[in-house]
Structure 1
Amino acid sequence: MDLAFLNPLYEQSGPWASVYVDTSQHAEDTPHELHLTAQATARDLKEQGADDATCRAVEEAIEALRHSPDPHGRAVFARSGEVVLDPLLAAPPPQGSLAVWAPLPRVAPLLDLAGEDPVAIVAYIDRRGADFELRSALGRQKAGAVVGRQHPIHRTSSADWSERHFQLKVENTWEHNAAEIADALAVCQDETRADLLILVGDDRERREVHDRLPKRLEERVVEASHGTGSRLLDTEVEQVRAERVRSRVAAELDRFRASRTPDDEGRAGAAEGVPALVEAAREHRLQELLLRPDGPDLHREVWIGEDPDQVAVRRTELQVLGEQNSWSARADDALLRSAVVTDAAALSLAPVLEGTGDDTPAGGLGALLRWK
């Protein structure tokens, strides 16, 4: 997950209100339920020590969702009476709404709730052209259409010379339309930065478009086996998107495992466990954090200073470094702050946990490192 959008959270000091609101239950009484959630969240934050202005800002932000609830939910990050960031969620919070008042924003849940959400272009192809649809966890929307040559389209079964000539024109029309669709699909992918291109249609029509797509898109292309309008197609699209997430996470986990072995200079390309990760964070060597949501080290106590690279396992370490002010924080919050400000990435291992056994980062926290 690219963490750049979180930068505004680390341009100002805390403490922070971090709220995850579940809006996935759409019913007649949803506005009333959100009203109650807004009030309960403000009370919860107040009991945790949040200032009145921040409680009001969060309450108003949740109240505003009553008019157009999001498909799954929203995160709200606020401080000093101001909502600084409120990203949409691609999945509802598994334990319902959550509110936390802490020295640092609680952003780790975003890795599962708003992180790996592949965007797919579904291309509904026939002999006359194609319709494009953009799919993500937030829904679907039209993404354009291609209208190719309309005549001639259909073959005949006659064997005389004039009919064979007609069939050749049909072939040329199909080839022309397939090329037009492929060109438009490549442009659409370039504009939307879609992760997947899912081709829907008859076998031959899909294949002709597939063969004409640029080689750079080959790894993104999937040919759907179910036809246009099928409920099975919707299921297949979601399965394709989920498999893309699993494949990417599995590849990064494999890279982490391989990087544990030191190179010829004795430097390992991976680290795990809080002490090693804290040291890497202080030296700006984090390349990509890997987090296992149920890992015990995520909520292990570390100490932080005002600057992101001021992080230590023990408070006395910060004092040795000359830091006058320090606060207790969760390890995942502190390491994610370091990752954001040093342009590192982060990834949740949740999509592959069932098949990985115990061979994951110790304590649930690991990182791929950079040495240059």
Structure 2
Amino acid sequence: MHLSFLQPLFERRGPWATVYFDPAQNDETGAKQRELLVRQVCRTLEEEGADTATVEAVSDALMSASPEEDPAGRVFFATGGEVVLSHRLSRPPQRPLACWAPLPRLTPLLELSGQDPACLVAYIDRTGADFELRAAAGPQEAGQVEGRQHPVHRTGSAQWNERHFQLKVENTWEHNAGEIAEALAAAFEECGADLVVLAGDPRERSSVYDRLPETIRKVTIGTEHGGRAAGSDSVPLEEVIEQARRQYMRRRVEEVLERFRAGRVGTDRPTDAVEGVPALVEAAQEHRIDTLLIRPDGAELARETWVGAEPDQVAVRRTDAQTLGESEPILVRADDALLRVAAVTAADVLVVPPAEEREDDSDLPTGGLGALLRWTYEPSGA
């Protein structure tokens, strides 16, 4: 999961009100319950030191939350008297979670919004394609491409001149498939997608698929459900997209954990994986985290670390933070500090399953925090 959509949260120093909230059902009983929950949330924020303007902004946002638009709930991040960012959840929180802290509280977001990979959907026909990105921030248009418009339809005659016309049709199809594949590859790189779903007729999908780069073909599937024509969206297409995402994430978790197990310190060769807060803090200072691994039940997530105004001003000890240029560092949770670094340095974040869900937990990060690195370094003492 990439957290670049959280960038607005790190353009201000805070402190921050973070609220994970599931709006009650929109009936008389639900409305009353929601009002009680909102009061409880606001009281919690006030008790933890939140200013009145920010509490009022949160209260207004919670009362305006719609069960129809956000059936699983929403998270709100507020500071300075305004809600700076909110995000739809995929699973409802078991109870409202509210806190007032120097940094936004992000780990619950990873669990409640899922780890949906960014999926680029290409709606294809013979004349072009429309691209849509399905990512954490919701569906977004990702461009389109138009090929040659004529000729694109065959005839049924076997006359020589008709066969000549059909050859032109074939050439138009092939030309357009090449243009679609080229535009799709560019969109894939530009929007940082993880996988591709091709929607359209089998012939058109196949022609485009064959022209994609090998690296993209490996993460591409096709479906006959849906298409480019208006009104062609379908429930089966949504199911295909969700299934593709789930399969991708299962493979992704296993691949990352295998790399993590193989790359940890313990040999006399350079390592490309680390675990534990001190090692992660060092990697964060140098922007070396490529994939941050978080096990939500890990004991070290709540370990205190010191941070400054800049994301890479993170340290285990207060004096170390001052050495990095922050005269007045503040104490925060380790997971919040590391997630801030991941968001601003375009690192991936992966939630790994708890130990009890795996037959072999030797590939899980000790304390619940680990990382794959962008480049290797020599282990201490090497």
| TM-score normalised per structure 2 | 0.73
Unaligned regions of 5+ residues in structure 2, if any?
Answer: 378-382
Pick the aligned partner of 1:302 from 301, 304, 308.
Answer: 304
After superposition, residues 43-122 of structure 1 pair within 5 angstroms as 43-65=43-65, 69-70=69-70, 73-79=73-79, 81-83=80-82, 85-89=84-88, 91-113=90-112, 116-122=115-121
Relative to structure 1, is the Cα distance of residues 69 and 153 closer, same or farther in structure 2, using a 3 angstrom cutoff?
closer
Q: Is the 8 A contact 1:21 1:97 kept in 2?
A: yes
Unaligned runs of 5+ in 1: none
1:42: Cα distance to partner?
A: 0.8
The answer to which of 83-92 and 349-358 deviates more is: 349-358
Report deviation, 1:255.
Answer: 2.5
Tell me the equivalent position of 2:42: 42
Q: Which moved more, 1:242-251 or 1:98-107?
A: 242-251
Q: Report the CA distance between 1:302 and its aligned residue.
A: 2.2
2:18 match: 18
Check whether the contact 1:309–1:338 (CA below 8 A) recurs between aligned residues. Answer: no
Identity %: 48
Residue matched to 2:380 = none
CA distance in 2, matches of 1:134, 1:285: 28
Contact 1:18–1:105 (8 Å) recurs in 2: yes
Write out per-residue CA displacement over residues 210-252 of structure 1, whole angstroms, 9 at most, x where no aligned residue: 2234556434432225565553322111111233333334333
Correspondence for 2:240: 236
Q: Distance in 2 between matches of 1:246 and 1:199?
A: 21
In the TM superposition, residue 27 of structure 1 has moved relative to its aligned partner by: 4.6
Q: How far 1:108 moved relative to its partner?
A: 1.9
Amino acid at match of 2:174: E
How many pairs does the alignment contain? 365
How is 1:1-372 mapped onto 2 (pairs within 5 angstroms)?
1-3=1-3, 6=6, 9=9, 15-22=15-22, 27=26, 36-65=36-65, 69-70=69-70, 73-79=73-79, 81-83=80-82, 85-89=84-88, 91-113=90-112, 116-127=115-126, 130-136=129-135, 140=139, 144=144, 146=146, 148-149=148-149, 151=151, 153-154=153-154, 156=156, 161=160, 164-186=163-185, 188-189=187-188, 192-213=191-212, 217-224=216-223, 226=225, 231-261=235-265, 264=268, 267-278=270-281, 280-281=283-284, 286-299=289-302, 301-304=303-306, 306=308, 309=313, 311-312=315-316, 329-337=332-340, 339=342, 343=345, 345-350=347-352, 354=357, 357-358=360-361, 359-369=363-373, 370=375
- Letter matched to residue 55 of structure 1: V
> Could you say if the C-alpha distance between residues 179 and 41 of structure 1 is closer, same or farther in structure 2, counting changes exceeding 3 Å?
same
Q: CA deviation at 1:14?
A: 5.3
Instruction: Note the C-alpha offset of 1:360.
Output: 0.7
Q: Secondary structure at the match of 2:17?
A: strand
Whole-angstrom CA distance in 2 between matches of 1:187 and 1:319: 43
Contact 1:262–1:269, Cα closer than 8 Å, also in 2: no
- Supply the RMSD in Å over aligned alpha carbons: 4.4
Residues of 2 paired with 1:167 and 1:104: CA distance? Answer: 64
Segment drifting more, 161-170 vs 86-95? 161-170
Deviation at 1:10, TM superposition (A): 5.2
CA–CA distance in structure 1, aligned partners of residues 314 and 136 of structure 2: 37
Q: Secondary structure at the match of 2:75?
A: strand
Counterpart residue identity of residue 251, structure 1: E
| 1:172 counterpart SS class | helix
For 2:105, what is the secondary structure of its paired residue? coil
201-210 or 81-90, which deviates more: 81-90
Q: Are the equivalent residues in 2 in contact too, given 1:9–1:84 (CA < 8 A)?
A: no
**SS in structure 1 of the partner of residue 206 of structure 2:** helix
